[in-house]
């Protein structure tokens, strides 16, 4: 694998690990970046475990030089992180008063238009 790609993956894994530690320690500004309402201490621990698991898998593949295993990890990122990013973006846009972008994911189930 190209050296720049390995470096980018190492930086990404390190950033995920640091963010996981911040969520685990309940650092207020780190917990504040999570866009979903009504989250507490256990939610932050779950988020931390999610981020640390992703960072550990990438870090291990980089450490042992297993480029082929990174293909499976990339699939994991696409399947788990991409939908999470889309829903987070929708919730964030909805919080900005731009209408119900979250659709079926909001608490009222369907945009909040129901009485």
pLDDT digits (tens, 9 = 90+) for 55-95: 999 999 999 998 899 888 888 888 888 888 888 888 777 76
Q: How far apart are CA 44 and CA 27, in angstroms?
A: 10
d(Cα 113, Cα 15) in Å, to the nearest integer? Answer: 39
Overall pTM surpassing 0.85 (yes/no): no
* C-alpha to C-alpha distances, 55 to 39, 96, 103, 115, nearest whole angstrom: 23, 31, 31, 43
């Amino acid at each position: 694998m190209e050296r720049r790609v390995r470096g980018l993956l190492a930086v990404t894994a390190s950033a995920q690990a640091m963010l996981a530690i911040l969520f685990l320690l309940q650092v207020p500004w780190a917990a504040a970046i999570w866009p979903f309402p009504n989250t507490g201490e256990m939610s932050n621990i779950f988020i931390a475990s999610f981020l640390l698991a992703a960072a550990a898998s990438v870090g291990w593949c980089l450490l042992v030089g297993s480029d082929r295993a990174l293909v499976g990890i990339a699939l994991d990122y696409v399947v788990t992180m991409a939908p999470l990013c889309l829903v987070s973006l929708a919730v964030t846009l909805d919080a900005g008063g731009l209408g119900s972008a979250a659709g079926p994911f909001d608490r009222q189930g369907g945009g909040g238009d129901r009485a």
